[in-house]
Structure 1
Amino acid sequence: MSYKKLLPATVAASLLAGASSAMAEPEISANVALTSDYRFRGISQSNEDIALQGGFDLAFDSGIYIGTWGSTVDFDSNDGFDGSLELDYYVGWSMETESGVGVDVGYLYYDYPGDEGAEGDYQEVYGSVSFWDVTLGMAYSDDYYGETEKFFYYYGDYSLGLGENLSLDFHVGYNDLDEDGGFLATDEGSYIDYSVGLTYSFLAVDWSLAYVGTDLDEEDVFGTEWGDDTVVFTVSKSM
């Protein structure tokens, strides 16, 4: 087993052991979603098709949290990345000051257990600061998806409440790839992803409609429309 596969389990186990000995019983939450297209940083992970997603979290009073999340994926058997599942494991710490400023830092491991002949798994560290309705954050990977070396991600989110159960959400992200295009089909060194969405909570379910896209050309994404602008519909439930 590789070091990269051992690391997330080791980190999670050690932090969980320390958290359990020092804190009360954690709060447990879960989520499930069905989306018309799983878009990650603007690019389709489900071959522009429906994806089923879900996860659960343990949150401690100290701000430490541990969780896992999964989604069906479909990369159309591109260069050996032919798995049908993504599993994410993460551990982090978050807090909010009395003035409403929030901080969130953590470690995230992406696992693609069905890949054959390719190494899709990778790890990231991340951090963000939120104030008012704005979140500014970044993520860093020392060896990004497909063993494509260093990667930096910078993003900003803004959520505007339009009523008791309705919000308008904006997102923009800057993807800084390593030289020679990273995981892209061309030598494009960076790209921007963006989205604008409406989320309405009704019958204890969140209904979201988002316009999602990137500034990539089809040739950058292996001649596909995975990075083209599209409308994504998602139904999600938190428990």
Structure 2
Amino acid sequence: MPLIGLALVTSGLCASANAELSGEISLTNDYRFRGVSQTAGDPALQAGIDWAFGSGFSVGAWASNVDFDEPGYNGPNIEYDFYVAYGGEINPDLTYDITLNRYNYSGDSDLGYFEVTAGMDYQGFRVAYWYTNDYSGSDLAYHYTELNYSYEFAENWNLDLHYGYNTGDALDDGEGFDSYSDYSIGVSTELAGFGLSLAWLDTDISGWYKVDSGTYKNTDTVLATVSYAF
């Protein structure tokens, strides 16, 4: 989610008399990022705002509570992100987007970093690639590739599938662990203006790196989310 090449944003602003502002607020029982809990398995309140322009540019911001506390370390409790994006249509069924994200964390944390995303959507499928050379301020590269599919199996009900592959120097411990997968299957709908989703999520992380509870929990969970868009 994140920011900002100011010159790039300015060009988008100038080109757009048809700017459209939208936002969303959501509550979930666990904030999972690529299969790993960012709230130690606890609920998260999240909100975002997006400003889209007729030129194809958009800018936005997003925030959530987080919990990275460990013995001897009191981590940040708020994540706040910004982004600038550009997207377009190749044909009525095929679209693309490129996004520059900036992740930020409260307090004196040095975990913030930039990440770039490129994605394409085609008839319910979405494939995207994410890359940073400074994951969580580590000065190490992280690659993330994801494939998603959403299918309307009944009126206003969708089946949502996700697979993600994580790799890069930021994950490499020098002892054999250098990648993992995360995946989920769920359903989603809209009722009385609220978005509702329920999904089962897991990773293939095992051994010493498998965390069953608390900070960075990465075992399977049922993820329930309610959201309201405005």
Which TM-score applies when normalising by structure 1?
0.87
1:77 and 2:70 equivalent? Answer: yes
Aligned Cα RMSD in Å?
2.3
Paired residues in the alignment total 227
**Structure 2 stretches lacking a partner, 5+ long:** none
In structure 2, the residue matched to 1:98 is: 91
Q: Which amino acid aligns with 1:16?
A: V
Q: Distance in 1 between matches of 2:225 and 2:122?
A: 26
**1:121-177 CA deviation, whole Å, 9 max, x = no partner?**
111011011111101110000110241500110110000102221101000000012
Give the % identical residues.
34
Does 2:102 correspond to 1:113? Answer: no
Equivalent of 1:43, from 36, 55, 59?
Answer: 36
Which has a greater percent of strand? 2
Question: Are 1:20 and 2:9 an aligned pair?
Answer: no
Whether the 8 Å CA contact 2:212–2:219 is kept in 1: the answer is: no
The separation in 2 between residues aligned to 1:128 and 1:86, in whole angstroms, is 23
Q: Which of the pair has the greater relative contact order for Cα pairs under 8 Å at 6+ separation?
A: 2
**Which amino acid in structure 2 is aligned with residue 56 of structure 1?**
I
Structure 1: gaps (5+ residues)? 1-6
Work out whether residues 113 and 136 of structure 2, in 8 Å CA contact, stay in contact via their aligned partners in 1. Answer: yes
The 3-state SS of whatever aligns with 2:136 is: coil
TM-score, normalising length from structure 2?
0.91
1:157-236 equivalent positions in 2, closer than 5 A: 157-178=148-169, 181=172, 188-217=177-206, 219-220=208-209, 224=213, 226-236=217-227
2:132–2:143: 8 Å Cα contact kept in structure 1?
Answer: yes
Sort the Cα spacing of 1:144 and 1:203 in 2 relative to 1 into closer, same or farther, 3 A: same
Moved more, 193-202 or 139-148: 139-148
> What is the deviation of 1:224?
4.4
